[in-house]
């Protein structure tokens, strides 16, 4: 199976045409006609992931986030992106990114996050008018309402985090939940319109939390920021499971690396 054949299968699920106009999904570096010997899947491309692919004998790295986002004028070892591009080319490795087209796909990133949180009866938060198989975010429900404290604990357990930023009130109960993996603060209005009791996403700015408050200052819903990496890390599992079904014996590896560069210092009391 060639890179072109493998990525065509991915794009049957998550069509390239459904990616946002500002995005840069697709083959970042490599020859489409190359035969795939092995795949490493990661959320982000990092030098450690490239080294891992070399060790495993894989010649294709598939990530959610693209390596090339902003236009660049040189590819040299002086920058992280330039250094990684050179390492890939010199090692005969290809890199493919499946970003906002996977965000928009049915059973894509937000569906995976919703399932991770144990939600049922999943549907798009907003289905695209011209294509019922693509949309924005996901909304689902628990069988019974749960207290906000139990909901936040469920998030922490499911995503293996020590804490989350949130707007809520102690008496809240949560049954209907909207989610958007990655940066989803711009979809808060959709979450409110969906009658969700909570909205789980990432990259919420300080002043954007105020948008979840009623005129009297009480929360209109629980607004939860779990972190960008944490909201999308399950994308690796999602892609590995898909590739295992369609690649006919090609070795597919989920990276052993945590690709987020962010660390959290926690004071021990």
pLDDT class for 132, splitting at 50, 70, 90? Answer: confident
Asked whether 197 and 216 are in contact (CB, 8 A), the reply is no
Domain identity same for 152 and 245: no
Specify if 138 maps to a domain: yes
Q: Does the pLDDT of residue 243 top 90, yes or no?
A: yes
- Structural domain containing residue 15: 3-101+232-254
Domain identity same for 13 and 95: yes
Domain identity same for 128 and 188: yes
Distance from C-alpha of 28 to C-alpha of 52, rounded to nearest angstrom: 18
The predicted structure's pLDDT at residue 244: 97
Closest CA to 63 of 238, 183, 200, 263: 238
Asked whether 224 and 152 are in contact (CB, 8 A), the reply is yes
Find the CATH number of the domain harbouring 118. Answer: 3.40.1390.30
Backbone angles phi, psi at 154, to 5 degrees: -65, -40
Q: Does the pLDDT of residue 168 top 90, yes or no?
A: yes
User: pLDDT (tens digit, 9 = 90+) per residue, 49-60?
Assistant: 999 999 999 999
Backbone angles phi, psi at 138, to 5 degrees: -145, 145
Q: Does the pLDDT of residue 129 top 90, yes or no?
A: no
Specify if 268 maps to a domain: no
| Token output for 120 | 């049922």
Q: Does the pLDDT of residue 176 top 90, yes or no?
A: yes
Q: Any idea which residue has 């946002």 for tokens?
A: 20
Q: How many domains does the chain fold into?
A: 2
Domain identity same for 135 and 52: no
Average pLDDT, the chain: 97
The predicted structure's pLDDT at residue 114: 99
Cα 227 to Cα 81, 101, 160, 174: the distances in Å are 23, 21, 11, 20
The predicted structure's pLDDT at residue 171: 93
User: pLDDT (tens digit, 9 = 90+) per residue, 96-128?
Assistant: 999 999 999 999 999 999 999 999 999 999 999
User: pLDDT (tens digit, 9 = 90+) per residue, 203-236?
Assistant: 999 999 999 999 999 999 999 999 999 999 999 9
**Which helix or strand (DSSP H or E) is residue 217 part of?**
none
Closest CA to 56 of 76, 38, 72: 38
Domain identity same for 96 and 118: no
């Amino acid at each position: 199976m060639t890179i072109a054949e493998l990525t065509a299968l991915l794009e049957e699920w998550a069509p390239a045409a459904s990616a946002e106009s500002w995005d840069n999904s697709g083959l970042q570096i490599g020859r489409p006609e190359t035969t795939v010997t092995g795949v490493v899947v990661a959320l982000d491309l990092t030098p450690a992931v490239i080294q891992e692919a070399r060790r495993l004998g894989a010649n294709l790295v598939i990530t959610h986030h693209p390596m090339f986002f902003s236009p660049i004028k040189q590819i040299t070892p002086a920058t992280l992106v330039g250094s990684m591009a050179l390492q890939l080319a010199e090692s005969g490795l290809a890199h493919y990114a499946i970003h906002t087209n996977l965000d928009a796909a049915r059973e894509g990133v937000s569906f995976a996050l919703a399932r991770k949180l144990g939600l049922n009866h999943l549907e798009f938060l907003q289905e695209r008018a011209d294509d019922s198989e693509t949309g924005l975010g996901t909304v689902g429900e628990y069988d019974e309402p749960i207290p906000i404290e139990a909901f936040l604990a469920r998030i922490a357990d499911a995503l293996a985090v020590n804490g989350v930023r949130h707007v809520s009130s102690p008496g809240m109960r949560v049954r209907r939940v909207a989610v958007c993996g990655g940066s989803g603060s711009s979809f808060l209005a959709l979450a409110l319109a969906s009658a969700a009791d909570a909205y789980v996403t990432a990259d919420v700015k300080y002043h954007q939390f105020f948008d979840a408050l009623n005129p009297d200052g009480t929360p209109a819903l629980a607004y939860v920021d779990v972190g960008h990496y944490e909201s999308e890390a399950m994308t690796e599992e999602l892609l590995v499971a898909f590739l295992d079904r369609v690649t006919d014996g090609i070795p597919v590896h989920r990276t052993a690396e945590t690709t987020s560069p962010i660390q959290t210092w926690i004071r021990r009391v």
